[in-house]
Chains A and B, each alone.
Chain A
Amino acid sequence: MTTLSRAAGPTQAPTFSLTRKRIRPGEIIFVWALRACLLIAFLFLVWLISYALYKGWDRLDSRLWRFMPTGRISRIETAGVQSAITGTLWVILLTAAICMPTGILSAIYLEEYADNNRWYNRFLELNIQNLAGVPSIIFGILGLGFVARRFGLGFSVITAAIVLALLVLPVVIIATREAIRAVPQSIRQASYALGATKWQTVSRQVLPAAVPGIATGSILAISRAIGEAAPLIVLGAVTYVTTNPNGLLSTYTTLPIQIFSLLSEAQAGLQKLGAAAIVLLLGIVLLLNSVAIFVRNKFQKRW
């Protein structure tokens, strides 16, 4: 045996051997083609990020924290996007405050309380899956018709937050459901055996065990809401706002919206400012994504 394999070694002698696999050139090409797919996608991402950095680098400094001057064209060099940064903070904190409790409670209902044999629970589930695929711009139309007009909240911070919260609600629900489902049944049974009620079991055993999964899903949902522009455009957010929001009903602008309108300007200086704002936005979103992955890898228990 040893002599045989040595003979069939690097010289590639045409000896037939059971210890040596036939090398098919097609196999190797196939694997490299698959690797190329991943590589192309990865290189595109690198290119995108470095292009944004390259374009926005000159303006990526403390000037970003200045206000947009009222005479846009006059002082481009000192213009900033402060109102967009504070606007994003206001809108996103409110979005999180609305979508997290609603999403987590819905998921608890579907996983722990709902009887899956009932048609209305199956309908609820189908409805959430479908909502996850509705284009974001359609949520803008919902906001226009209901939140802004019918509820009379106008084109305000709270309208934007409600619309974004409804948009990312399915993400929170689906992630929370998966996290709850991963908690083993034995933990629930042990809790019941000690005389706990259903809600005591859910709130003191199931939810704490599911926190990493819920946190990961919620962070990803928030990250998506931060970058969203389309529904806010339908809600008339592309107006010229130079002040920070000062209440739920105040006017606002957010980073993606500000970026969109800056890039539509003809002046190179304003486009540069837009690119710098893009770097800021990308930085926030990538940071949140990394935190979500870190939480998932570090804290998620596997039973």
Chain B
Amino acid sequence: MALGTVDPAAGSTPSLRRGRRHPGERIVEVLLVVAAIVSVATTAGIIFSLAEPAFEFFREVSIVEFLTGNRWTPTFSDKHYGVLPLVTATVLSTLIAIGVAIPLGLGSAIYLAEYATERTRRLVKPVIEVLAGVPTVVYGFFALFGLNPILQKYWPGGDAPAFQNLLVAGVVMGFMIVPTVASLSEDAMSAVPRSLREGAYALASSRMQVAVRVVVPAAVSGIVASFVLAISRALGETMIVTMAGGLSSDSVIFNPIKAAATMTAYIANVSQGDIPVGTTDYNTVFAVGSLLFIFTFALNVLSIRLVRRFREVYE
């Protein structure tokens, strides 16, 4: 009786089995699905906008020549379309970058996960993460005008580094990806159960032994995932290598103190130029872009798999 007066709009036959219909609920669900589809459409759009002009390019240039040729001179009169100079420069700058980022990032992660107090961690972590938030033009500026003159001045060997070179671009890029390595590695190490550490301490292990022989091996898939993600970041980074790495791409260069264009630097450089749209030369952008997309896609899938593995084991 009292119940009936609470909600007179509920109708004459109140029932527990069936709720009121809410047409708004359906509309909301449709909206949510539409929003979720945006990200799928983005991927589809990326693949389509890369593939269409890339196919056009490969009608003119054979894939074998593209992948194995060691001269890249689309803007010269004597045209060659071998992508190897761009790939070597990309690999070289990436190797330098992870050579900086892996020791620094892993060292920071071990300290934060195993040694730092909660207070230190809360204070230090956001500061280090700022390195990932600094705009890349700022890094490019610093590499070109701040770091490289010092490098040239104090270079021990005979040949000083060029005005633009892969070494300085790679080193600065390495600092940019330190937080990528540090955050994910620290997450993985923090996910290692306490019991493993306590077991090792009970066997009279020291702190370093626990960190190096127990925690790091237990978190290895997460740590490797952070390396893979860092490599993918370095491959795709554009502004630092465009500004400080150089733009020459006519032949394969293995010397990191020389200027050379990476894949991304080439794309950025050609997009600024005035090559007519639709020509084979213009379509090089999409061929190189497709290759870059395939590289980073493979690395991303690998890192996602690795992360999933450490989540499955300990969480």
Contact = CB atoms under 8 A, between A and B. Distances in A.
B91 interface: no
Given A44-B131, A134-B293, A197-B22, 4 more contacts: A101-B35, A109-B33, A113-B29, A126-B304
A281 B135 contact: yes
Contacts of B40: 123-124, 127
Interface in A20-37: 24, 26-27, 30-31, 33-37
A135 B142 CA distance: 21
Interface in B127-146: 127-131, 133-142, 144-146
A37 B135 contact: no
B304 A146 contact: no
Contacts of B175: 41, 44-45
A230 B111 contact: no
B190 to A, nearest CB: 15
Contact of A27 (B19, B36, B207, B293): B207
Given A34-B108, A138-B289, A41 B131 contact: yes
B40 to A, nearest CB: 6
A286 B32 contact: no
B108 to A, nearest CB: 5
Contact of B289 (A141, A170, A236): A141
B63 interface: no
Nearest to B122: A297
Interface string A185-208: 000000000010111000000000
B243 A109 contact: no
B39 interface: yes
Interface stretch (B46-54, B65-73, B191-199, B248-256): B46-54
B24 interface: yes
Nearest to B285: A141
A102 B42 CA distance: 12
A45 B130 contact: yes
Contacts of A35: 111
Contact of A227 (B42, B134, B212): B134
A243 interface: no
B239 A260 contact: yes
A226 B307 CA distance: 29
A265 B138 CA distance: 16
Contact of B239 (A33, A38, A113, A229): A229
Interface string A269-303: 00100110010011001100100010001000000
A110 B36 contact: yes
A134 B134 contact: no
Main SS of chain B's interface residues? helix
Given A138-B289, A233-B272, A285-B133, A144 B49 contact: yes
Given A26-B208, A106-B39, A137 B108 contact: no
Interface in A220-273: 220, 223-224, 226-230, 233-236, 238, 256, 259-260, 263, 271
A181 interface: no
B267 interface: yes
B94 interface: no
Contact of B268 (A133, A197, A230): A230
A60 B35 CA distance: 42
Nearest to A104: B35
A108 B127 CA distance: 30
Interface residues on B, range: 35 or more
B6 to A, nearest CB: 11
Contacts of B229: 133
Contacts of B303: 133
B296 A38 contact: no
A27 B104 contact: no
B238 A130 contact: no
Interface of B: 19, 22, 24-25, 28-29, 31-36, 38-40, 42-43, 45-46, 48-50, 52-53, 103-108, 110-112, 115, 122, 124, 126-131, 133-142, 144-146, 175, 178, 206-208, 211-212, 229, 232-233, 235-239, 243, 264, 267-268, 271-272, 285-286, 289, 292-293, 296-297, 299-301, 303-304
A42 B138 CA distance: 16
A197 B271 CA distance: 51
A263 B304 CA distance: 38
Nearest to B124: A38
A210 interface: no
Interface stretch (A2-10, A48-56, A69-77): A48-56
A229 B136 contact: yes
Nearest to A26: B208
B26 to A, nearest CB: 10
Contact of B272 (A220, A238, A278): A238
A24 B206 CA distance: 9
Nearest to B46: A142
B141 A275 contact: yes
A102 B115 CA distance: 40
B103 A135 contact: no
Contact of A106 (B38, B236, B237): B38
A184 interface: no
A105 B243 CA distance: 38
Contact of B141 (A45, A52, A103): A52
List the 3 closest pairs (A to B, CB-CB), nearest first.
A135-B236, A227-B135, A145-B49
A209 interface: no
28 contacts: A24-B206, A26-B208, A30-B208, A34-B111, A38-B108, A41-B128, A41-B175, A45-B128, A101-B35, A114-B36, A126-B304, A130-B300, A134-B46, A135-B293, A137-B264, A138-B293, A141-B286, A142-B42, A144-B49, A144-B271, A145-B52, A220-B133, A227-B138, A229-B136, A230-B268, A263-B137, A263-B145, A286-B130
